[in-house]
Each structure stands twice: as structure tokens, then as C-alpha cells.
Chain A
């Protein structure tokens, strides 16, 4: 246990907050508080400096224009790259996921990403919209994952990252894999409140941030999230 108050930073809600992205911040804070852990949620706008000392950094999704501006400002600021090097926990969604990679495509051209994750994103022919399920990375122990995706990105993973999940239904990175992780950094196309539907992933992030094993987190009542998961899996199950 290496923290006192858990500081969770939601980066650039002014630029990247499209699909209930606030949800991941709310869910992490809720699950920490339910275990008696003090939480300080912070929102950092793109015209503010990013604090170095936070425990978890979240970044959400958005349109091409804001994505390109966000990448530029994050590169200028430099703090997110240093946070990744320092082993801080980072979770990025959609546009935010893409810009953690080496490069991404927006406004009809290729932009340099932050290079935190070894991946490159391009534009697919069709927009991927709909419910998503997949088998979470066994290394992470997060079980099956469920979410909603709405993006036209296609992402190629490099050697230094692993997929977050194998696609069950939906598209994810390329129809085969979804998301990526390396160290304590996770990226996903499951947008907005992905953590509301994936409590084990939420707890993994908390455990990383606290420097403990997820097994040591006190169990909390997940009746409703589990019921929601069951409903969403059933909605996609073959007739």
C-alpha cells in the first residue's frame, strides 16, 4: 500500500468527453470509497498543467479535431509520458487510446501520438458501432469484458503491448483483438463508462495504483453490475 489519498485525474474533459467518459472516474471513485479509501477526483482541462503526482490518469474519447489538439497539448505538457515511465496507472478510451500510441489518423492525416503504447491506429472502412464482448487477457484476470463501441479506428498492436481482450462480438482493434495494455497502462475502444460494466478491470486499476494485488481488495456488493453484465452478454448471445 503506497498511497494515502487516491488521486484520480480525468484529463481534458473539455476536449475528450463524448460518451459518458466521466463514468470511469465516477466508478473508480465509487469502488475505492466503498472500501474506505479516500479519493480525490480531479479534472484537468487542456489549458491547465497536468499534475505529476496523481495515482490514476484517465483520458476519454472525442472527435478528430479535439483528438489532434489533445495529442499536441499532451506532448507539450510531457507529464503523461513521465507518469507512464513512473509506473502510474493510465486508462485511455477511444480517441484517448489512439493518441497513446505511436501514431493515429485524424482530420484526413496522420498525427504523432505520445508513444506510451506500442501501437498505430488508422481509419477503417466502416464505423464499428454496437455492443462488444470479449475474453479479457488471462494475464490480467479480468474475465469476460463487455462494452459499447462506436469508432472508425483500426489499431495495429506492436510487440511491446498485449491485447486487452480477444473479440467475441464486435470489432475492437481489428475484429480479432480489442484494446491493449503494457505495464500499468490500458487502452480500449469500449467507450465511456466501460468500468461500470467491468468491475474486475476497475479493481485491477485500483490495485495497480495502490501497489497491491487485486485479491487483497475487500469484496464489495456487485449485485447490480453483475446483473447488468449478465443482461448485456445475454443480449448478444445467439438465439
Chain B
């Protein structure tokens, strides 16, 4: 940890903190990215030096990584201080800042962008890597999802070494990528989006699915037996000992119970008993604005972030049955410029509800909803959306920058 840092790394860390503080003070952001960038220019090995001697878990996947990282941090804080990139800055600059800001934390829970997993695996020497799921996301700039799984498989084969992998047994792409590793803890974390894994990633044959099971009839790739799963009834996680650990989450949906199962599996590898960890997850009320509840003019908004088809389907699964729904869609660089994926989302569950549409690409959404025969109202921004619905609860679903715009309207609510 930082007590043993060489002089250049100490200097780099000090500059990093100054740059981050300046960025916050001038209202440019939370400073994670700029701080890390400054630090890494002064000492290119800064991330490696800051990670040295800590017990690190990396958490990656298309969806759920911010929430799972938050749950994991909450669980691991039972045994010590945890450094974490809680602002969702999930590239090496953000990781460097997270570690620099918590010099005395013996543990680190780092959310990792899918494309930086290899770099982080080398730099942070993690004890545990958690792989949640892979599905289509930002197709115009990211690589296609099977190629990403293949890259992960190659990376893990080359450098996982003594690392334990916590992996989703329900996602064939994850299973294929993780199955090259010796130590894998399997979690039945579910798969809300199966369209990217109809075909065996290993051999290209069809995967047969029956209930929760799946297997390739040609090469034999199949669903491993999970050690951890979400209970079939009630809200609980079932551990490797077959015991139920009751959850009392504030965060909604089956997908968050699965994220909780993954967090408990990770924490137990660091020595946190699930019975000790599970109650700590109830303290998480929102994650960087996700699931946050805000109020204006009698409208009580719940904010849901959904960046890709799997995320939108998960959101529709979470929302309450009756309140009006506000949908906001942007297609700026970090969202991906291509909106074609909205045709992978089935909107028919919104038929009969009050639906208000906004965001830079609201016209794309309007055309999409018309095709699914959903009645909708198009408005310019979130303020107009709020004015357009009756007082009471409102569900808001937005993709990345659309979500940030809405958060900004509410004082960057966390």
C-alpha cells in the first residue's frame, strides 16, 4: 500500500489527488478520470504500484457491474476498508484514482470495463475476478459479443494464474470464457437476454435449452453446477452449503438478487460469511443515481439506467405495474451512435400504460413504439415529461447519457 510507494509514485499520487480535487471544485465532474490520467502520466506503473499488496477483486460484464461492485464493497466492508471506483469510472484512470484515494484500504473492489479486463488483470493482480454476463452493447464501437468472449478466454488462459473466477453459469459466453480457468466458483445469476447465445461459442452448433439447463449437443459445453444461486421462492440467495441467506434489498428486480448472489460469492472468497454479508446489502439504496428516488411537484420518480437491450428488458421487469413510464434515449458517443438495438427490445409490455418519450433520439423511440402499438407522448426534456404525468409514482428508464442528463436535473443525485 501507499506507505511503501517509491518517491515518483508518491508524487504522482499527490498530483492525481490535486487534479481530481480541482476537477470537482470547478464542477467538471467527479475528477476520477482526469486525476488518474495525470497520475499515470507521471508514473505509468502507478496502478500496479497502488494495487500492490492489496486484496483485489475485479468485476466485469455487460450489465450489473456497478451495482455488483457496490454490493461487494458493502459486504467486504464487514472486514476492512475497501477501495472502490464508486463513480462508475471503470477504466484504468478510474481504478488508479480509486486506489490513490484510499491509501489505507487493504481491499479493493474494482468495476472494470469489459475491454480493459486484460490490462487490469496484469496490473492489479486480483485475487478474484467476477464475470457477470455478456450481451450486445454499443455495436457501432465495441466489438461483437462473441469476439469479446473469445478475447476474455484468451486473456484468462494467459494470465488468470492463481486468480479465482466467480462466473455466471447461466450465460454460455461467460462459461466458455471462464472454463479455461482452474478455479471457478459458479453462480446461477440468470440470463435475461438469450439471443446472443443461441449458438455454442465453442463450436458454432446449437445450444439446447431446457429450463435453466443448457448444453451444446455437439461439443458438450454445458451449464456447470452452480455453487451459488438465487432462491426459487422469496428473496434469498442459496449458498454452497445449501443454506438460504435472506435478502432484504432496497434495489428492485430479480437481476439485483442475482447481483447480490455474485457479491456474496465474492465476499466469501475474502472470508466474509454470507450471513454477515447479506444484511449489509440492504443498506444500498441507490448506485450512482441508479434506482434513486427523487421528487418534484408531487411526482415521485424512480430512476432506472438501461444501456442496451438486456438492460431495457430488465428494467421493464422491475417497474411497478401501474405508474406512468418515461423513456429517454440518447445516442452520443458513449451510448453508441447506432440506435438500431431498440428493435431488439420488446416494448409490448408497455401497451395500455401512460408512456412519455424524451431524449435526443426521442423520434427513434416514437417510431419504435408505434410499431409495437404503444401509445406515447413525445416531449422535449425531463421537465416536460414530469409536467405531462399526474402526481404520484413515475418510472424513468434512460440510457447512459440520457440518464446523466436526468441526474443533472436532480443535482446529480446518487
Distance (whole angstroms) from the CB of B147 to the closest CB of chain A: 7
Distance (whole angstroms) from the CB of A68 to the closest CB of chain B: 9
Q: Which of A9-17, A135-143, A178-186 contacts B (4 or more CB under 8 A)?
A: A9-17
CB of B3 within 8 A of chain A? no
Distance (whole angstroms) from the CB of B135 to the closest CB of chain A: 12
B340 near A148 with CB under 8 A, answer yes
Distance (whole angstroms) from the CB of A207 to the closest CB of chain B: 19
Contact partner of A20 (CB less than 8 A), chosen from B141, B147, B198, B342, is B342
CB of A154 within 8 A of chain B? no
Residues of B within 8 A of A13 (CB): 195, 198
CB of B410 within 8 A of chain A? no
A18 near B343 with CB under 8 A, answer no
A19 near B139 with CB under 8 A, answer yes
CB of B146 within 8 A of chain A? yes
For the complex, give the distance between the alpha carbons of A150 and B140 in Å. Answer: 6
Task: Specify which of B340, B363, B364, B373 lies most central, judged by the most chain A CB atoms within 10 Å of its CB.
Answer: B340
A130 near B340 with CB under 8 A, answer no
Which B115-163 residues have a C-beta within 8 angstroms of A? 136, 139-141, 144, 146-147
A19 near B370 with CB under 8 A, answer no
Distance (whole angstroms) from the CB of B347 to the closest CB of chain A: 10
Residues of B within 8 A of A88 (CB): none
Q: How many residues of B contact A (CB 8 A)?
A: 29
Residues of B within 8 A of A26 (CB): 343, 371-372
Given contacts A23-B343, A193-B340, contact A130 B367 (CB under 8 A): no
CB of A227 within 8 A of chain B? yes
Contact partner of A65 (CB less than 8 A), chosen from B141, B204, B337, is B204
For the complex, give the distance between the alpha carbons of A231 and B198 in Å. Answer: 35
Residues of B within 8 A of A14 (CB): 198-199, 206
B368 near A196 with CB under 8 A, answer yes
CB of A174 within 8 A of chain B? no
Q: Would you give 13 A-B contacts (Cβ < 8 Å), ordered by A?
A: A18-B144, A20-B340, A26-B343, A30-B370, A30-B371, A63-B146, A66-B199, A69-B204, A129-B141, A192-B343, A193-B343, A227-B366, A228-B367
8 closest residue pairs by CB, A with B:
A23-B343, A20-B343, A192-B340, A20-B340, A14-B198, A19-B340, A193-B343, A30-B371
